[in-house]
Amino acid sequence: MASSSQTKCLVTGGNGFLGRWIVQELIKRTDYHITILDIFIPTNAINTDRITYLTGDITDAAAVRTALKGHHICMHVASPPHHFPAEKFKRINIDGTQNVIDACLAENVGRLIYTSSASVLSDGSPLVNADETAPIPKTFIETYSETKAIAEAMILKANCDRLLTCSLRPSGIFGPGDTQGTPGFMDVLKKGQHVLQIGDNSGLFDWTYVENVAYSHILAAEKLTPGSKVAGQAFFITNGTPTPFWNHPRALMAQKNVVAPYLIIINYHIALIIGFLSEMASLIKKALGKESKDGFTRVRVRYISFNRYFNITKARTLLGYEPVVGYKEGIQRTMAHFIEQEEIQAKKKTQ
């Protein structure tokens, strides 16, 4: 159990991909007592002297308030995955965040760190060396980004003497335990689609190794002190080494010793036309009452062809942030994990 003098930190979504890494970093770099609040807690999770597990839904205001009682810091990490329907994003990202803010104020939590996203700037236009002075766009390419931007604005607005807040905007998180990006690229490989490339690979993309993102949360917690310049601010968090977009999946596959035997390069403009046709087909399907996923859209074509990279000078100067794991090392560690997982899966099958 936590002693009365110990700093107590609650992590919403602490059982998710990033959440688990944040908990690990908290254990490694601080002496805080950690409460993990998550909608899903594995049944075999056992409380330790550092960690308390709590099952709870952040859309439930009363539950959030009860959970935050007695805590000094809240890291609000919980957010639904990209494939969730739009109304879920609104419920979890906006209403959930309001619940967290209200509970922090009611329970005198003191410090609130929000895990935002670099996509709060995603209106479909290129992002070149974008920094925190860039205005939040009026329209967004997807509900996810829009709800993250609204929630972030709420968090920053809530900053006051009683509750110090800040927001972190990571871009392209990847790492061991990744449930979206890396497995997505592995699926592409399985389907043999890794020979496809859209555009000339001139757009740069910022990928960020998960441990660096987790580390930035610890820095933010420590720098959120009365009078600090961090309070009420947003920070882009990346590895600081943007690379051409298509390099990333190739680098991941290369760890498995796989390289595309040839490449089919689809011209950017032609890809836009294909995207348009696929959107139309999807609309017709929906009109006919059939289910249809938005697969290949123009928004996606632009997203992977344009520059999308950020300037992290503000995080460097105010948070003292510097990536602790380089991009190349991050790729190696990530794939070592996924290859191991595949081997375990394969063993299970043969047994």
- Beta pairing, strands 243-244 & 204-205: antiparallel
Q: Which stretch binds other proteins (CB under 8 A): 135-143, 156-164, 222-230, 326-334?
A: 326-334
Q: Which of 45, 86, 160, 254 binds other proteins (CB under 8 A)?
A: 254
Candidates 32, 53, 114, 144; catalytic one:
144
By CB neighbour count within 10 A (0-12 exposed, 13-18 middle, 19+ buried), where does 289 fall? Answer: exposed
Rg (CA), the chain: 21
- Report d(CA 243, CA 307) in Å as an integer: 10
133 sits near other proteins (criterion: CB under 8 A): no
- Report d(CA 240, CA 278) in Å as an integer: 35
251 sits near other proteins (criterion: CB under 8 A): yes
> What residues contact 184, with CB distance under 8 A and at least 6 apart?
none
Sole residue written with tokens 């977009």: 245
Of 258-317, which residues contact other proteins (CB under 8 A)?
259, 307, 309
What residue spans of 158-267 are helical by DSSP H? 181-190, 210-223, 247-254
Min dist. Cβ of residue 271 to other proteins (A):
17
Closest CA to 236 of 121, 89, 79: 121
- Report d(CA 245, CA 201) in Å as an integer: 6
Q: By C-beta, is 17 or 245 nearer to other proteins?
A: 245
Q: Which stretch binds other proteins (CB under 8 A): 18-26, 155-163, 247-255, 298-306?
A: 247-255
x/- contact string, 191-210, with other proteins (CB under 8 A)? ---------xxx-x------
Determine whether 309 is an active site residue. Answer: no
Q: Which of 125, 328, 336, 340 binds other proteins (CB under 8 A)?
A: 328
Q: By C-beta, is 143 or 243 nearer to other proteins?
A: 243
333 sits near other proteins (criterion: CB under 8 A): no
The count of chain residues that interact with other proteins, using the rule CB under 8 A, is 22
Q: Which of 253, 301, 304, 335 binds other proteins (CB under 8 A)?
A: 253
DSSP β-bridge partners for residue 266: 198
Q: By C-beta, is 261 or 289 nearer to other proteins?
A: 261
User: Where in the sequence numbering do the catalytic residues fall?
Assistant: 144
